[in-house]
Structures are given as C-alpha cells and as structure tokens.
Amino acid sequence: MTSLVTARDVSKRFGDLRAVDDVSFDIEKGRILGLIGPNGAGKTTLLKAILGLTECEGELSVLGLDPFKQRKKLMRQICFIADVAVLPRWIKVHQLLDFVDATHPNFSRESAETHLAKTKIKKTSKVRELSKGMVAQLHLSIIMAINARLLVLDEPTLGLDILFRKEFYANLLSDYFDEERTILVTTHQVEEIENILTDIMFINDGQILVNASMDSVGENWVELAASGDNAAKAKGLGPIFETEMFGKSVFIFENVNRSNLDGLGDLRTPSVADLFVAKIKQARAAGGVA
C-alpha cells in the first residue's frame, strides 16, 4: 500500500491544552476512513493540520508534502467539504462553474455539468435560492469534477434529511471513489456511513483510541448478549463495556478468545457506533471521568 497521509508523533497545543496529543498513523490510498470522536476530541484540529490550516509539532506528510509549508501545491490535489457550505450566496450556479473552471487546473466543467444534470438545480439559480440539500448537491457536483487524490468531508450532510444524506453518499461511491482516491470523513451519523467505510479511527482528548480496518473489527472485538448465570460468567471474563438491553446484559470484549464465550449467549460483531461508545466509556473510566 501507499500512504497518502503519514503522521508521526503529531501534536497541537493551545496554551496548556493538547488538542492533538502525540498521534501517529497512516492513511492509505483507495480507502474510506471514518474519523470519529465526541465534540472537543481533536477531530477538527487534526483535519486542519492535514489541510495545512494550522502548524503542528511532529512529522506530518500529506501526498508527500508538508501541508502547512506547501499548502498551495497541496490544495491542487485535495478537495474539502465542510459542515457549513462556504459557497457565496449571491453567485449564480453557472457563474460558480465559470469561476472554478478558471481557477482550478484539475476541474472538468463537462463532468460537473453531467453531475448537475442529475439534480433539479438550475444553472441560472443563485446559491441563496437553493435548499440546503441542493447546496450540498451543488458542492458535491463541483468536488466530483475535480481530479483530486484526497477528499476530506467534515460533517458533509449535517442538517440534511435522510433522503439527501443517502443520495449524497451513494453519488460519492458511484461517481467519485476509486482505488486511486482516498476519502476522509468525520460525522456523528456513524450508523449511516458504516457500510461504506474501509477503516475507522476513534479519537478522544487528542489521542487515538482505535485505528483499524473494518475487516479487523470482527477479529478484535465481539459483542455478547447474555442473561442470568451466563451474564455473571461473561462479566468475569473482563469485558471493556457493559449495558442492559431488553432484559439482557450486553457486553463488548476486546481481543478475547471467542471459544471462551461460546454457549454464554448471542455473539455478533459490534456496530461501529456501539464500539465507539464502548471505547470512549473505557477511556473516560480509565481517566477518572464518569
């Protein structure tokens, strides 16, 4: 594999606060990575470092470039969609296409117009006349028409209804993503993107709790629903998380021999959302936070 992003001992301080705390990781090409964390966990700071918007300590390479010192060159190969659309509200759609066509060397106007033809967006409309969902469609149509190697999505469907959210990710997969491109996405709607992710990274208090491929989740973690004496036996095996649901005890185990759990109840691979809750609760318990 070839790393598009390489981080070694990366930190970012704001006074006494370490928003990103000595993290190391690689993001390979042809992957869809979900960067997931609670509010204030360090996600936005880490994204800003990758996008060259803030300088950091340690070694950080994005597409072989220093993102802060070589940002102008880097931006030709990266696209970014934030949770709040930054498209000028006064501009007309066709004027926006004119502008991007004149300023971005890797933009294909023909491709953008092909994508827009699949929507109800009129090229004579101003951005302020479009619904929030249409603005997201317009933004995505432009992004997908740019030949970029890395796409960064920061809560890209925030505030959109479920139909727009489903359509957004479906278009992303069918019309943009391929083995030469990489997508980095942050979202609180984990359940909706779990099926498209190839990798997950959990971050909390600036530190990485999990950095794993989706294929390895089932190998490293298991969820068990048990009751009665079996629940008591399961608890003695050292789960990282326990909760109650529908009258049963639900446990999540990490790096446990599954044969030790056989016969105690229903086994399955935990969802990304459930695993995230388990790891955050585990980290907070270890740090003395309720």
- Domain ranges within the chain, ordered by starting residue: 3-205, 216-286
**pLDDT (mean) for 177-191:** 88
**pLDDT (mean) for 274-281:** 95
Instruction: Name the architecture of domain 3-205.
Output: 3-Layer(aba) Sandwich (3.40)
Contact 104, 75 (CB under 8 A): no
Confidence of residue 84 (pLDDT cuts 50, 70, 90): low
pLDDT tens-digit map of 95-146? 999 999 999 989 999 999 999 998 899 999 999 999 888 888 898 899 889 9
pLDDT for residue 247: 85
Return the higher-pLDDT residue of 160 and 232.
232
**pLDDT (mean) for 28-46:** 93
pLDDT for residue 290: 44
Q: Look-up: residue for tokens 């969802």? A: 271
Residue 199 has pLDDT above 60, yes or no: yes
State the chain's maximal CA–CA distance in angstroms.
70
pLDDT for residue 133: 84
pLDDT for residue 8: 97
The percentage of the chain sitting over the pLDDT mark of 90, rounded to a whole number, equals 67
Residue 14 has pLDDT above 60, yes or no: yes
Residue 198 has pLDDT above 50, yes or no: yes
**pLDDT (mean) for 13-26:** 93
Task: Please count the CA atoms within 13 angstroms of the CA of 16 that sit on its side-chain side.
Answer: 0
Residue 289 has pLDDT above 80, yes or no: no
